[in-house]
A and B are shown apart, each in its own frame.
Chain A
Amino acid sequence: MTFREINSKMVEATVAPGQRLFSQRGAMLAYKGDVSFTPNVQGGQGGLMSMIGRRVAGEATPLMTVEGSGTVFFGHGGHHVHVITLAGDTLYVEADRLLAFEGTLRQGTMFMGSQGGVMGMVRGQVTGQGLFTTTLQGQGSVAVMAHGGVFEIPVTPQRPVHVDPQAYVAHHGDVRNKLSTALGWRDMVGRGSGEAFQLELSGNGTVYVQASEEKL
């Protein structure tokens, strides 16, 4: 495993020659050995088209490439860090939550509308994710940031999980998400419970939830 959690807010990553890491710009805290940090014009992997795609989608976070041999320590903004290991499946995560990820992972951008049509777009707006989200696919690990600690909730076909859109961090696996609304007349007169929108995740996989309703 490339990433090792040192404490709740800091991860250690080992870089070896021929092995690249991508990380958010300015998230390096310290390093040992011979490591170079190159700003990434394209904001990630893929060719020019995926760069344009990311720009259009507003998923272009400033990234840098980390290469060389040594140990790098990452942390950012006092946010909690959680390491997720992927074994061939796809992680759906917001681009600005990415602290660092291995170069072996394939980065892509997904249109929220492609999962659930119009309702998916509405959901993207409500959750503050926008209409697009970033996907990471392949073998490797990702360090994800969250406000407050992160916990995983397994999603099974029998037990769908409801998550507050603001507390949602990421999910992976074969999970369908839809926005469930519990709007009633009380919300119309401003006496709602404040929990009118929920993200309902069903299928087979894991959802990561942060212990706070504050967005990054």
Chain B
Amino acid sequence: MSTYASPGAGPAVHDPMTLPADDNVNKYTFCVELKGGQWFLQKGKMIAYYGTIEFNGIGHGRLDRLVRTSFHSPLHASDWVVAGGSGKMLLADRAFDVNSYDLDDGNLTIRAGNLLAFQPSLALKQSIVPGFLTLIGTGKFVAASNGPVVFMEPPIRVDPQALVGWADCPSPCHHYDHGYMTGVLGGLRAMTGLGGVSGEEHQFEFVGAGTVLLQSTETLMAEGATGVVPPEPGVPGGGGTGPGGHGPQSSGTPRLPGQLGDLQRRFGL
């Protein structure tokens, strides 16, 4: 049985010369060309490389300057490494579709688990929306998605699981559809639970000028637990909402004396 779609055509064989520079090799693999420069990449997303490339965890002394200028998410620091050197590096993530995006003095917010790599000319910051990261500046970044990414113009309402990210949109907010719970039939449904829900009562709504990125399925990419926002009042998802939003916040585990505290996580210890 032939494993290839077109008979006679075997798989394309690449060498360091024929590999594309900063472009997709196929739908699932992206090739980064390093010429003495550096790239940030999420741990474990590098599948192969040519040349001499060094991978250093964030927190490595020499990278201090770089991290200070373009990595502003200490809570994700343990999940990221810096690749430096010269050569070609292949990135992939569990056979999900991989794409690169160019930002030109712009901003883009993306689901934390979807971002694979970015150029240090971009600044990575944690979004106010929990679980999302914002990239600001000029440069290229690589992101994965479950199925091809589709770009949409607002106003649009999006299934929460299908959302990959958004650029320039000022208003990511929740939208609840209460129509199904009103009326005689709706009341009956609410009381008895019969008939169930359509599964589409809750969406994310975007209005204003910008672009919304959507993946082609509502199945999320399974992601590892990445950074947690600090439990402070007024921080969405921080967990800490005391009465009136004030007062001391207790994080999950009490801090023991002698512990480095948040610094530990910052340096991936």
- Chain A interface residues toward B at CB < 8 A: 6-10, 25-32, 36-41, 62, 64, 73, 75-79
Q: Are B214 and A29 in contact (CB under 8 A)?
A: yes
Chain B residues near A73 (CB-CB < 8 A): 150, 214
Chain A residue with Cβ nearest B186: A38
Partner of A10, one of B194, B216, B219: B216
Tell me, yes or no, whether B105 is within 8 Å of chain A by CB: no
Tell me, yes or no, whether B18 is within 8 Å of chain A by CB: no
> Contacts A28-B200, A30-B157, A75-B147 known; A39 to B216 CB distance under 8 Å?
no
Contact with A along B188-214 (1 / 0, CB 8 A): 010000111111110100000000101
Q: Are A78 and B147 in contact (CB under 8 A)?
A: yes
Q: Are B157 and A78 in contact (CB under 8 A)?
A: no
Q: Which 9 A-B pairs have the closest CB atoms?
A: A26-B199, A9-B216, A64-B198, A41-B195, A10-B216, A37-B200, A29-B162, A39-B198, A9-B147
Distance between Cα atoms of A31 and B175 in the complex (Å): 12
> Contacts A26-B218, A78-B147 known; A38 to B159 CB distance under 8 Å?
no
Distance between Cα atoms of A27 and B214 in the complex (Å): 14
Q: Are B159 and A37 in contact (CB under 8 A)?
A: no
> Contacts A29-B158, A30-B157 known; A62 to B196 CB distance under 8 Å?
yes
Q: Are A39 and B155 in contact (CB under 8 A)?
A: no
Partner of B147, one of A10, A30, A31, A38: A10
> Contacts A7-B150, A29-B159, A75-B147 known; A39 to B189 CB distance under 8 Å?
yes
Distance between Cα atoms of A27 and B199 in the complex (Å): 8
Q: Are A39 and B148 in contact (CB under 8 A)?
A: no
Q: Are B147 and A7 in contact (CB under 8 A)?
A: yes
Chain B residue with Cβ nearest A64: B198
Chain B residues near A30 (CB-CB < 8 A): 152, 156-159, 162, 203, 212, 214
Distance between Cα atoms of A25 and B199 in the complex (Å): 6
Chain A residues near B218 (CB-CB < 8 A): 26-29, 75-77
Chain B residues near A75 (CB-CB < 8 A): 147, 162, 216-218
Chain B residues near A32 (CB-CB < 8 A): 152, 155-157
Partner of B198, one of A6, A25, A78: A25
Tell me, yes or no, whether B29 is within 8 Å of chain A by CB: no
Nearest-neighbour CB distance to chain B for A186, whole angstroms, equals 18
Chain A residues near B155 (CB-CB < 8 A): 32
Q: Are A39 and B180 in contact (CB under 8 A)?
A: yes
Contact with A along B160-202 (1 / 0, CB 8 A): 0010000000000000010110000000010000111111110
Nearest-neighbour CB distance to chain A for B48, whole angstroms, equals 25
Task: Name which of A6, A9, A77 has the most chain B CB atoms within 10 A of its CB.
Answer: A9
Given A25-B196, A29-B162, A36-B177; 17 other pairs, CB 8 A cutoff: A6-B150, A9-B217, A10-B150, A26-B199, A28-B159, A28-B218, A30-B158, A30-B203, A37-B177, A38-B180, A38-B198, A39-B195, A39-B198, A62-B199, A64-B198, A77-B217, A77-B219
Chain A residues near B158 (CB-CB < 8 A): 29-30
Chain B residues near A62 (CB-CB < 8 A): 196, 199
Tell me, yes or no, whether B146 is within 8 Å of chain A by CB: yes
Contact with A along B125-165 (1 / 0, CB 8 A): 00000000000000000000011101010011111001000
Task: Name which of A10, A26, A29 has the most chain B CB atoms within 10 A of its CB.
Answer: A29
Nearest-neighbour CB distance to chain B for A126, whole angstroms, equals 22
Chain B residues near A78 (CB-CB < 8 A): 146-147, 216-217, 219
Nearest-neighbour CB distance to chain B for A25, whole angstroms, equals 4
Chain B residue with Cβ nearest A71: B156
Distance between Cα atoms of A160 and B218 in the complex (Å): 38
Chain B residues near A27 (CB-CB < 8 A): 218
Chain B residues near A77 (CB-CB < 8 A): 217-219
29 A-B pairs in the complex with CB atoms less than 8 angstroms apart:
A7-B148, A7-B150, A8-B147, A8-B216, A10-B150, A10-B217, A26-B218, A28-B159, A29-B158, A30-B152, A30-B159, A30-B214, A32-B156, A36-B177, A36-B180, A37-B177, A37-B198, A37-B200, A38-B180, A39-B196, A39-B198, A39-B199, A41-B195, A62-B199, A73-B150, A73-B214, A75-B147, A76-B218, A78-B147
Q: Are B179 and A36 in contact (CB under 8 A)?
A: yes
Distance between Cα atoms of A27 and B159 in the complex (Å): 9
Q: Are A9 and B148 in contact (CB under 8 A)?
A: yes
Nearest-neighbour CB distance to chain B for A39, whole angstroms, equals 4
Chain B residues near A10 (CB-CB < 8 A): 147-148, 150, 216-217
